[in-house]
A and B are shown apart, each in its own frame.
Chain A
Amino acid sequence: MNKNKNIANLGDPLPVLPGHVSQGRFERVLRAGHFAVTTEIAPPDSSDPNEVLIRAQLFDGYVDAINATDGSGANCHMSSLAVCAILTRFGYSPIIQMSCRDRNRIAIQGDVLGAAALGVCNVLSLTGDDVSVGDHPSAKPVFDLDSVSLLNTIKIMRDESRFLSGRPLDCSPNLFLGSTINPFVPPVQNRVDQLAKKIKAGAQYIQSQYCFDLDLLKSFMKRAVDEGLTKNCFMLIGVGILASARSARWLRDNVPGVHIPDAVINRLEGAKDQKAEARNICAEIMQKIKEIEGVSGIHIMAYKQEKHVADVVKQSGVLEGRKPWTPQRIENEVKEKI
């Protein structure tokens, strides 16, 4: 009994600092001007909460927030809301991904309130992959909203304390609002315009798609900075840890929106130890991204490579010795349970 109470307290929200919207650590790190690192958890195909904690622990001390993906690739997994609820109970700082594929505006607004009630402080709005690419291609795609109108919806709930229908909320959700951008695929010229649209709709931070092409990123960021967009929005650039040249090719050909230049694949192919080289590539890209004006952090997507995230962060040195807060106090307790 006592133990549980202790654990529950770890996830208690922090006071909202001036100029902040949420009660979470992630927003504090960014607003304090630190270079942030985030990563993501692939929710388990399981009803065992320990599987979530085992995955989260891999990142202890190296990331500021953990995204819980929402049926990514249109495949069925534990819900992002549940993953986040487990994580907040243990003091982690999760980012709940909300995709528009599976729920209409009624369900989504309910989940927004539910997430805030469970101590989630950050939300990432996505349109979502189409059902046809996942393991249930016969499902009905919903797409009642899209990523921009979803941002707008949550912003209305937070800032105007009401549902879309106008019905007032008794307590509004204090959520730090984010969305995604993919500067690496057409229409490349208009991706900055789209970023502007997302910021207008409420995005306060962005986590981008995989960046393997620094030139494209630089020209995108330059325009974003010139248009003043990075003043109102923190840009976290996505990076990936590849497994091998073969899997990089597979990723490029089969996962929508992934752009990997041939030079990267050739370099991997030529390496003796492809796995180690992939980590080198990732760390190098991270270092270079950190130097680009307007960038506030890195988002590491390491599907099935989660155990290497900490190493890559260490190797890249982007944290400059800073140690992101981790729920140290419960470490032993979780291990006991495992």
Chain B
Amino acid sequence: MYQVRLWSARHSCALERIYNIINPAVLVFLRATTKIFGRRLDKPITLVERTVKQFFFDCQMCGDCVLSKTGMSCPMNCPKTIRNGPCGGVRADGMCEVEPQMRCVWVEAWDGAKRMKSGDNIKQTLLMFDHRNKGKSSWLKVARDE
């Protein structure tokens, strides 16, 4: 949801803290389920990830989540899917060049990063993503070191 997405980037600091607390537990859980069930639970786990991240970030399930490096603003909502933004067309009021009714995803990202402890990660170059991962779970990818 657009409004929630804006809220998330503006509360990137709190979300980062929550993420840092629950992330280790989630990874332990996912590794354990992988050990016991193999890949049989991939579908429901992916569904949970999709639901949670869609609610908070309008997640597009690119399969290569970089939210922690983009100020909690999902770059895949940029109409040009820029992973190192913004483009040069941002409107004077901070709205997107392509969709004037939407805040530029990358204006929100740099703003969100400012509030995060590891906000400097936004300065790393993010390489192009692997299109084969589209629709797959990022959580499982990290848990399995894929």
- Interface residues of chain A, those whose CB is within 8 Å of chain B, are 100-101, 105, 127-130, 132-133, 141, 143-149, 152-153, 180-182, 185-187, 189-190, 193-194, 196-197, 200-201, 209, 256-257, 259
Name A152's contact: one of B88, B91, B125 (CB within 8 Å): B125
Least CB distance from B82 to A in Å reads 4
Q: A141-B80, A200-B125, A257-B97 are in contact. Are A185 and B110 (CB under 8 A)?
A: no
B90 on the A face (CB < 8 A): yes
Name A130's contact: one of B80, B83, B128 (CB within 8 Å): B80
Name B89's contact: one of A105, A181, A256 (CB within 8 Å): A256
Q: Are A149 and B127 within 8 A (Cβ)?
A: yes
Q: A197-B123, A201-B125 are in contact. Are A146 and B88 (CB under 8 A)?
A: no
Top 4 A-B pairs, shortest CB-CB distance: A256-B89, A182-B88, A148-B84, A256-B97
Q: Are B84 and A257 within 8 A (Cβ)?
A: no
- Interface residues of chain B, those whose CB is within 8 Å of chain A, are 79-94, 97-98, 104, 106-107, 110-111, 122-123, 125-128, 131
Q: Are A193 and B82 within 8 A (Cβ)?
A: no
Q: Are B84 and A149 within 8 A (Cβ)?
A: yes
On chain B, the residues within 8 Å of A132 by CB distance are 79, 98
Least CB distance from A102 to B in Å reads 12
A–B Cβ pairs within 8 angstroms, 30 of them: A101-B80, A127-B82, A127-B88, A128-B80, A130-B97, A132-B79, A146-B81, A146-B82, A146-B83, A146-B85, A149-B83, A152-B125, A152-B127, A153-B128, A182-B89, A182-B90, A185-B91, A185-B92, A186-B92, A186-B104, A187-B86, A187-B90, A187-B94, A187-B110, A193-B123, A197-B84, A197-B123, A200-B125, A256-B91, A257-B89
Which B-chain residue is minimally distant from A145 (CB atoms)?
B128
Which A-chain residue is minimally distant from B108 (CB atoms)?
A187
Least CB distance from A259 to B in Å reads 7
Q: Are A256 and B125 within 8 A (Cβ)?
A: no
Least CB distance from B101 to A in Å reads 13
On chain B, the residues within 8 Å of A144 by CB distance are 128, 131
Contacts A143-B80, A146-B80, A186-B107 known; 5 new A-B pairs at CB < 8 A:
A100-B80, A144-B128, A182-B89, A187-B86, A257-B88
On chain A, the residues within 8 Å of B86 by CB distance are 186-187, 194
On chain B, the residues within 8 Å of A130 by CB distance are 79-80, 89, 97-98
Which B-chain residue is minimally distant from A147 (CB atoms)?
B84
Q: Are B92 and A259 within 8 A (Cβ)?
A: yes
A162 to B142, CA, bound (A): 28
Least CB distance from A187 to B in Å reads 5
A14 to B126, CA, bound (A): 35
Q: Are B79 and A190 within 8 A (Cβ)?
A: no
Q: Are B81 and A143 within 8 A (Cβ)?
A: yes
Least CB distance from A276 to B in Å reads 29
A101 to B80, CA, bound (A): 8
On chain A, the residues within 8 Å of B88 by CB distance are 127, 180-182, 185, 209, 256-257
Q: Are A185 and B126 within 8 A (Cβ)?
A: no
